[in-house]
Chains A and B, each alone.
Chain A
Amino acid sequence: MSAVQDNWTGAKTLVDPRVPMRWGAFYVAEFRIRNMLKWVSAIIAFGLGNPVLYLLSIGIGIGSMIKNPIDGVPYLTFLAPALLATAAIQGAMDEVTFPTIEGFVWTRVFYSMNNTAISSRQIVDGVMIAAMTRCLLQVLLYELILVLFGAIPLASIATLTVASLLAGWGFAAVMLSVTVFIKDDDGFFAIVGRFILAPMFMFSGTYFPLTSLPIWLQWIGWISPVWHSTDLGRALSYGHQVEPWLLIVHVLYLGALGVVGMLTAYPQFRKRLAE
């Protein structure tokens, strides 16, 4: 084996900065995915176990008591898009919040990336690409179970995937722009879990149509990416009746969350790394 100094070319000829300046986001994503692979069995077990438990308890358990079709379809079919949106949001969120606190505080690995040719913007993009990869995996696993339970037809997979990934991206982007401010955990995850995620998952027309809530509670659904994605998914998967303008609003709202979240995250990441 040769020693370091034996084959020294020097960065000047060895490293072309244009390569990482173009592909850096993917290198960050590669790093994140490599890291995720350390937990891949847990991710898959959770990704399969969670829908099975949900479908058995709520879908079939509660669903068996609901004899009349909801929205013209069996309860399980009605429920499926909401469960998918929830899973997508959870999966994407896990992969932006934990890595961000880790990157800035726990291992400071973002600072080591930024010591290379990688820019703050590429770190944001890379973390998001990896999070969406995990999100996609989680959604596909969920859909597999849903198909096996007969909750959704095979044909609706493509549209449901799009609807739930859009929700995952929108919410993850917002979380990214918030997590960048965290100096330490400080109960951040507990607060998000209890005061944001829990109400969002419950009051977004998840288990029953949003319209059956009193009007003063419906606003939670209107601002919730879960509702927008669920309503979109229902329209696309089984023909739930929605005004065409509302479909556009769903897409625009989720897209806007994503764009605003990313555009807020970029300068904040840059600022924190350049301190």
Chain B
Amino acid sequence: MSEIKEEIMIRAKGLRKTYGDFVAVDGIDFEVKKGESFGLLGPNGAGKSTTMRMIASTSLRSGGELEILGKDPNHFGPEIRAHLGVVPQQDNLDRELKVWENLMTYGRFFGLKGKWLKAKVDELLEFAQLEEKRNTKTDELSGGMKRRLTIARGLVNEPEIFMLDEPTTGLDPQARHILWDRLFRLKELGVTLVITTHYMDEAEQLCDRLVVMDKGKIMAEGSPAALIKQYSSKEVLEVRFGSENNKSASEKLKGVGDRLEVLPDRILVYSEDGEKALEQITKMGLHPITSLVRRSSLEDVFLRLTGRTLVD
């Protein structure tokens, strides 16, 4: 009889943000449940960061409805923010303060007591693997270290929603994998994650569910697997005939696989069975210079939905 109601942490309906005539976010709807890991993907200028800042309850929306932790950020900004953790796209650490002081002062902004914070700072330094840099002036850290410090700082209040805007830009692969592991553990504690990223492997790893945004609108929504299923085939065959011959070869390939995409350097054949498609092609008497069968990825979905042209 009793129905466990899933707690909705973020609810956006017709959410809009405009700057003069420019529409940054153009009426988007989504919900994020407690403990979910939610991703916002999209090319530069898609409106991801603007959306993030509205969720973070700092940037005020121009229209639509928004509810964070059950409250309207227009009226309860500080109350909501007290329970959020934010990692902005650009590090905004204080350069003059020491590493530990950056964590300590940030914790104070939540009204946390000095004694409690002392222990917390140690934990966070360990989290960021910056124990040895504790007394270093923040300005002297490398880019990756600053990034790690910014990420750790966002956890000082043990947030209910942890928001990370391109968290791993500037991190080396080791740090990236360590972060993924730690975010996964936070998720196990019931922390809700909201993440934007340009790395599709990261989105596949981290996100239970994601939306692909373009020009301020949501183009698609679903789990990584569902999106791949819906917008791509199971496998992709990549064949190269040399840049001059790709176009003419593609004429002959019509009908092979579910869909073809001709790129300057190669042809992508979207198919349920890549090997079979390749067999079909060789039977036609065509001999690609190189061929590669791979699983379809989120990157294929992303490029299909948002196009291959550069945005900026």
Contact = CB atoms under 8 A, between A and B. Distances in A.
B307 interface: no
Interface string A94-136: 0000000000000111011111111100000000000000000
Contacts of B83: 11-12, 15, 17
Contact of B93 (A15, A107, A114): A107
A19 B111 contact: yes
Interface string B88-128: 10101111110001000110111110000000001110110
B75 to A, nearest CB: 12
Given A7-B123, A31-B105, A17 B160 contact: no
A143 B10 CA distance: 57
Interface in B35-91: 56, 58-60, 77-79, 81-86, 88, 90
Contacts of A17: 78-79, 82-83, 111
B186 interface: yes
Contact of A111 (B79, B88, B106): B88
Q: Is the interface of A mostly helix, strand, loop or mixed?
A: helix
A31 B108 contact: yes
A8 interface: yes
A15 B79 CA distance: 10
Interface of B: 19, 56, 58-60, 77-79, 81-86, 88, 90, 92-97, 101, 105-106, 108-112, 122-124, 126-127, 153, 155, 157-160, 182, 185-186, 188-190
Interface of A: 1-5, 7-12, 14-17, 19-21, 23-24, 27-28, 30-31, 34-35, 38, 107-109, 111-119, 273-275
Given A1-B122, A17-B78, A109-B94, 8 more contacts: A15-B82, A15-B110, A17-B79, A30-B105, A108-B90, A109-B93, A274-B58, A275-B59
Contacts of A3: 123, 126-127
Contacts, number: 135
A12 B110 CA distance: 12
A108 B58 CA distance: 14
B155 A117 contact: no
Nearest to B127: A4
A34 B114 CA distance: 14
Contacts of B78: 17, 20-21, 24, 117-119
Given A34-B97, A274-B60, A12 B160 contact: yes
Contact of B82 (A11, A30, A273): A11
B88 to A, nearest CB: 7
Nearest to B87: A115
A3 B181 CA distance: 13
Contact of A4 (B59, B96, B124): B124
A274 B54 CA distance: 9
A175 B188 CA distance: 49
B157 A14 contact: yes
A14 B116 CA distance: 11
Given A14-B157, A112-B88, A107 B60 contact: no
Contacts of A109: 92-94
Given A20-B78, A107-B95, A11 B127 contact: no
Contact of B94 (A20, A23, A107): A107
Contacts of A114: 58, 81
Contacts of A14: 112, 157-158
Given A10-B190, A11-B159, A109-B92, A116 B127 contact: no
6 contacts: A14-B157, A16-B111, A20-B109, A24-B109, A111-B88, A112-B153
